[in-house]
Structure 1
Amino acid sequence: MEKDALTSAPQKDDASTQEAAAQPKSDADETLAQAEAVAEREAPRGTALTWSAVLVAVATLGLLGWHWFDTRERFAGLQAEVAQRLASSDAAGGEARMLAKQGQEATATLQARLIDLEAKLAESQSQQAAIDALLQDMTRNSDARLLSEIEQALGAAVQQLQLAGNVEAALIALQGADARLASAGRPQFLPLRKVIARDMERLKALPLADVHGIGLRIESVAAAVDSLPLAFEAKPVAAPEQAAAAPTAPDSTWTGFARQLAGELWREVKSLIRIERLDRPDPALLAPSHAFFLRENLRLRLLSARLALLQRDGAAFRREVQQSQAWIERYFDLRAAPVQTAVATLKQMGTAQVDLQLPTLSDSLTVLRNLRVAKETVAPAARNKGDN
């Protein structure tokens, strides 16, 4: 722009010169003189302007050159940076493609593993279902075994009560059944535990009767029957020896000899004959060959008494004991110590109170049977549900 201003200034001076030539001739000289004066006056100013314009042009050209050079350098740097970035982007793209490929491969591997895991999961689920079914079967079987054990314990308690009359043994059996139910910890068996606890309280409330001890004493008497001496086997008690009569002088007469002979004959007859009462059937008069049957019948009496004791039949027990005592007193030698011991034992047992009303444990057995029926009813339904 400064250069255009410098070139426009001479053009304006020429135009003014031409206009002055066109004026009239008279004014030419004056005009010429003015022009020369103006030219002389404007010449230094035009030179200064020219040099200013040249300097401005040179500065402009330098500035443009520097700008061009700077722009070129920047463009080159930008181009290098773009190339570098393009190279980096190509490398990143290659790396991204490689990573994408690796990702695809990893995805394929993961999908294969996922399929494998799904198959294993399905297999494990089927195994878990089988295990659950097995556990349910085992639980049902364990419940059935537990009920069988409780039934055996209750059966043993009933046998001890009905056959042996042993309250202590029945209590032990019931306590074992209750402890087994407590260790199982099954809430469905609580009603059975309550009934068993009630039966135990009923047994504990019974008066104590040493049935076992009485039975042992009956067995001891029965075992001693073979060794008890019978009455007809007893030896007569030796009569006290009488003081020997003072020796007398033999009677030599005929009457004295006859009296002595009669006395000796009477003594011999007395030793051969024994007079006893036969108005009652005395067992001691049984023949010795009947001793075996006597002892066996007495032993049967004692066994009948023991059976009545186990059955808690007080009347039959006392009747058999009294009859056995009567037989021993009639058949056996009461002077012998074993016989006296047997009689005393039977007398003591005859006063024992054995006719107690024992509970039957029917409530416990009924609840147990109901639980068993419920288990047998539920088990097929649960098995069919598991199969479906």
Structure 2
Amino acid sequence: MPGALARWRKPVVLPTWGAWLLSGAAALALLLAYNQGQRLNRMQEQLALQSGAIHEQSIEARTLSHEALALARDSAAKVSLSEARINEYTLQRSRIEQMAFELSRSRDETMLNDIEASLRLALQQAQLTGLADPLIAALRNASQRVERADAPRLSAIQRAIERDLQRLTHTAMTDTAGLLGRIDKLLAQLELLPLANGLPPLPMAEQPVLAQAPVVATPVASPPATAPTVEIGPTSAPRQPVAPAATAAPADANPAPSPAATQTGAPSPWWHGMRAGLGELVRVQRIDAPEAALLNREQTFFLRENIRLQLMNARMGLLARQSEAVRADLAAVQTLLQKYYDTNAPRTRQALRTLRQLQDHLQAVQSPAITETLVAIQAAHQSLPAPGAASASKGKR
């Protein structure tokens, strides 16, 4: 055992190349360790630089995020303000559009009211004067105003005005002066128309008193009594009072025959009177109306005055443009003439012919009317929408 231990304790001697090899290996290990240390240092420096840069970037990103958040908040505030302003502008626009619509509607409505008022005034003038000129002028003025308005909803009024203008220009109007002249001629010939019973007109002295003027007492001696004067209208001439000599007895009206006339054999006036009286005793005539034969002289006077009043009413109705009333009065006069007057007499036939012509003329002539234009204006008034309707429709959109 001791020998073995001694053998193991004996130092081992390495060769020289082994020592160099170990030295080289140690140097290489040291070199590698140094190189690795340098690399670690560089890596640490790079990591430190990178961490610093990352830290700076994080700080910058945080700053940018804060700025972006502030910008977002500012943008949100601006957006909300913009929305509020947009809503305000929208409200103002709707109000302005409503005001413009109301202004346009009021303008059209005012124009329609003016046109309707002018047309109705011209229609009244045409009915009073019997001339269509004022109405035609008013229609042409209304047509020009509608054309200047240039509104499609007023085209119906334009067409109605054109139709009324065409109808008025081709419509015959009443010849007032000519009709008045014919009525005045009938009034003048009324006393000359023969009755069916052949009675002559009642003398002035025997006519009933229709109007008695008040008598004023004066100290001067009054003149002889005269028959009252009857005035029936502006066209009838006042009747002259009859002198008392005209109302004397018939015996005084036929003077006694002179001796010269008796000696010459000429027919005496009393013979003429007797012959006329005998001729009136018997007369053969056809009378369709029995009451016409029973009229006495006083009744014939009132009959003539009634006809005169009917003609005067027709005259005033013609001046007042009341065609229906004029036709009714003329028809009444025609009925009286056919019933109580001699229809075979030329004057009566002429009077009846004149009455028929007057009635036919009044029936053929139509009063000026603009019914289509007025109806179109009323329809345009109703077609104008209400102010709230337009705003409601815009709100729905």
Shorter-chain TM-score tier: 0.3 to 0.5
Which protein is richer in helix relative to its size?
1
TM-score normalised over the length of structure 1: 0.41
Name which structure has the greater RCO, CA cutoff 8 Å, separation 6+.
2
Of structures 1 and 2, the larger Rg is shown by 1
